[in-house]
Amino acid sequence: MVIRPVEPADLAAWLNLVNQVRYWQDDVEALRFDDTLRPPEEPILRLGAWTANGTLAGVAEAALSEDGSRYQDRAAGLVGVAPAHRRQGLGARLADEVEGFAASNHVRWVEAEVRETNLPVALPFVGRRGYAELERYRTSVQTPTTVDLSGLTSLQRRLEGAGIELVAFPAIDSPRARDELYRAMIQIWRDMPHEPHVEWEDPLPDTFRRSIFERPSVLLDGFFVARDGERIVGLSYLVRRPDGDAEVGDTGVLRDYRRRGIARALKMMVTRYAIEHRITRVHTDNRTDNAGMLAINRELGFVPGEQIVIFEKTLPS
Tell me if 214 sits within 8 A of 206, measured CB to CB. no
Q: Among candidates 214, 237, 240, which has minimal Cα distance to 224?
A: 237
> Is the pLDDT score of 198 beyond 90?
yes
Orientation angle between helical segments 262-276 and 291-299, nearest 10 degrees: 40
- 197-222 as b/e: b if 16+ CB within 10 A: ebebeebeeebbbbbbeebebbbeeb
Q: Which is nearest to 59 in space by CA: 67, 50, 51? A: 50
Reply yes or no on whether the pLDDT at 43 is more than 90: yes
Query: According to the model, what pLDDT value does residue 16 have?
Result: 95
Q: How confident is residue 305, by pLDDT bands cut at 50, 70 and 90?
A: very high
Give residue-wise pLDDT tens across range 152-187: 999 999 999 999 999 999 999 999 999 999 999 999
Question: What pLDDT score does 24 carry?
Answer: 87
pLDDT of 122 above 90? yes
Distances (CA, A) of 277 to 145, 218, 242: 11, 14, 16
Nearest Cα neighbor of 144 from 16, 269, 287 is 269
Q: Which of 116, 112, 86, 87 is nearest to 97 (CA)?
A: 112
- Type of residue numbered 25: Q
Residue 298 confidence class, pLDDT cut points 50, 70, 90: very high
Q: What is the DSSP string of the chain?
A: -EEEEPPGGGHHHHHHHHHHHSSS---HHHHHHHHHTS-TT---EEEEEE-TTS-EEEEEEEESEETTEEBSSEEEEEEEE-GGG-SSSHHHHHHHHHHHHHHHTT-SEEEEEEEGGGHHHHHHHHHHTT-EEEEEEEEEEE-GGGS--TTHHHHHHHHHHTTEEEEEGGGT-SHHHHHHHHHHHHHHHHHS---TT--BPPPPHHHHHHHHHT-TTB-GGG-EEEEETTEEEEEEEEEE-TTS-EEEEEEEE-GGG-SSSHHHHHHHHHHHHHHHTT---EEEEEETT-HHHHHHHHHTTPEEEEEEEEEEEEPP-
pLDDT given at position 292:
87
Q: Which amino acid is at 145?
A: T
Residue pLDDT, tens place only, 223-256: 999 999 999 999 999 999 999 999 999 999 999 9
Mean pLDDT of the chain: 95
Is residue 303 over pLDDT 90?
yes
